[in-house]
């Protein structure tokens, strides 16, 4: 149940990230829509002023003004001004038409983005309910365990983790067990280690609590190297490296669904935020099913 809650947490984090990006997009489009509206208002006012000026001038054609003018020079001046005014009016009408079309397009874009935003929020809320339900059920089962059962369960977990770690170390899979971190990787590891003891909270990215990918993403952000927010996107987007070449700062992705992630700290250990009820801690790298390794600064 805790594992399933973590899967749902990844879905929540992905949706929450989309909500933030979509909200910014809507804000930008709304501002652009406002700017177009103001321009349309200015153009409408200018068009109204031009229409009133033409009305006051009687709308007399250029050739008639030329014939009726007392002096040919003035007539030509009037004609030139009239032609210029006509061109200005045509440009104004074109600008007005363009602004109206742009406004309709912007309004449609805002409506579409808002519709998409609402759908993503529904996905996020569904993931939140799934997380809370699974964690509640898991805690309820734990609460029903007797003290001896809890102690025995903890011992079994530790024994299973130790056995898996020993088998992994005996395999000799790591070519360079003393490999050094890159400069950025060292900064990321230092940040992650400083968080040891802080509680796991789903959806959290610090500074007081973390979920698994919240810890790794913030650690690499501290190294001025932003990475995707979720463990699944970290696995999908970041460069893969062979586990035999692992070095501190690399991210170890766990389970077939890439639902958990920890940061390799060296000496066969990872630092990670395990699950609800636990705190950020060091753990054997092979204590869970390893899917693979990614390197943010490859």
What are 84's two structure tokens? 């210029």
Highest mean pLDDT among 10-19, 83-92, 107-116: 10-19
Contact assessment for residue 10 and residue 230, using Cβ atoms and an 8 Å cutoff: yes
Which residues make Cβ contacts (< 8 Å) with residue 257, sequence separation at least 6? 7, 232
Contact assessment for residue 66 and residue 77, using Cβ atoms and an 8 Å cutoff: no
Which CATH superfamily, name and number, covers 2-141? Helix Hairpins (1.10.287.620)
Which residues make Cβ contacts (< 8 Å) with residue 140, sequence separation at least 6? none
| Architecture in CATH for domain 177-294 | Alpha-Beta Complex (3.90)
Residues of the chain with CATH 1.10.287.620: 2-141
Please state the rounded mean pLDDT for residues 154-183: 81
Q: Which of 34, 212, 225, 240 is labelled catalytic?
A: 212
Residues of the chain with CATH 3.90.1720.10: 177-294
| Residue 212 among the catalytic residues | yes
- The number of beta carbons lying within 10 Å of the beta carbon of residue 249 is 29
pTM exceeds cut of 0.85: no
pLDDT of 55 strictly over 80: no
Token pair 């035999």 in the structure block, residue = 244
Contact assessment for residue 185 and residue 249, using Cβ atoms and an 8 Å cutoff: yes
Q: Select from 44, 30, 166 the least CA-distant residue to 96.
A: 44
Confidence of residue 18 (pLDDT cuts 50, 70, 90): confident
pLDDT at position 64, please?
45
pLDDT of 150 strictly over 90: no
| Cα–Cα distance measured from residue 160 to residue 167, given in angstroms and rounded to the nearest whole number | 11
Q: Which of 3, 104, 225, 260 is labelled catalytic?
A: 260
Token pair 């979720």 in the structure block, residue = 230
| Residue 34 among the catalytic residues | no
| Cα–Cα distance measured from residue 63 to residue 77, given in angstroms and rounded to the nearest whole number | 12
Q: Select from 250, 274, 273 the least CA-distant residue to 263.
A: 250
- The number of beta carbons lying within 10 Å of the beta carbon of residue 126 is 14
What are 57's two structure tokens? 């001038």
User: How far apart are the two ends of the chain, measured CA to CA in Å?
Assistant: 34
What are 184's two structure tokens? 């950025």
pLDDT in tens, 199-248: 999 999 999 999 999 999 999 999 999 999 999 999 999 999 999 889 99
**Total count of residues recorded for the chain:** 298
pLDDT in tens, 40-49: 677 677 666 6
**DSSP labels, 16-66:** HHHHHHHHHHHHHHHHHHHHHHHHHHHHHHHHHHHHHHHHHTTT--HHHHH
| Residue 272 among the catalytic residues | yes
**Residue 207: cis peptide before it, omega within 30 degrees of 0:** yes
């Amino acid at each position: 149940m805790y594992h399933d809650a973590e899967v749902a947490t990844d879905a929540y984090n992905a949706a929450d990230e989309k909500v933030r990006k979509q909200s910014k997009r809507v804000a930008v489009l709304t501002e652009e829509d406002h700017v177009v509206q103001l321009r349309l208002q200015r153009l409408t006012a200018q068009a109204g002023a031009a229409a009133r000026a033409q009305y006051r001038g009687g709308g007399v054609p250029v050739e008639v003004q030329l014939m009726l003018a007392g002096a040919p020079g003035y007539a030509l001046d009037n004609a030139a001004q009239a032609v210029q005014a006509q061109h200005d009016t045509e440009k104004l009408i074109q600008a007005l038409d363009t602004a109206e079309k742009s406004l309709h397009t912007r309004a449609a874009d805002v409506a579409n983005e808002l519709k998409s935003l609402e759908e993503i929020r529904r996905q996020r809320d569904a993931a939140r309910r799934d997380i809370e339900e699974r964690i509640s059920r898991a805690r309820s089962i734990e609460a029903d365990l007797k003290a001896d059962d809890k102690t025995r369960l903890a011992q079994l977990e530790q024994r299973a983790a130790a056995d898996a770690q020993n088998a992994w170390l005996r395999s000799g899979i790591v070519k360079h067990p003393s490999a050094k971190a890159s400069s950025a990787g060292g900064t990321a590891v230092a940040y992650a280690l400083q968080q040891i003891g802080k509680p796991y909270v789903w959806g959290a990215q610090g500074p007081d609590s973390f979920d698994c990918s919240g810890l790794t993403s913030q650690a690499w952000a501290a190294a001025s190297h932003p990475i995707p927010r979720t463990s699944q996107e970290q696995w999908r987007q970041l460069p893969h490296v062979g586990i035999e070449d692992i070095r501190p700062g690399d991210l170890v992705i766990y389970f077939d669904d890439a639902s958990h992630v920890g940061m390799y700290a060296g000496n066969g250990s990872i630092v990670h935020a395990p699950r609800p009820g636990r705190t950020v801690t060091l753990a054997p790298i092979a204590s869970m099913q390893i899917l693979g390794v990614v390197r943010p600064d490859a």
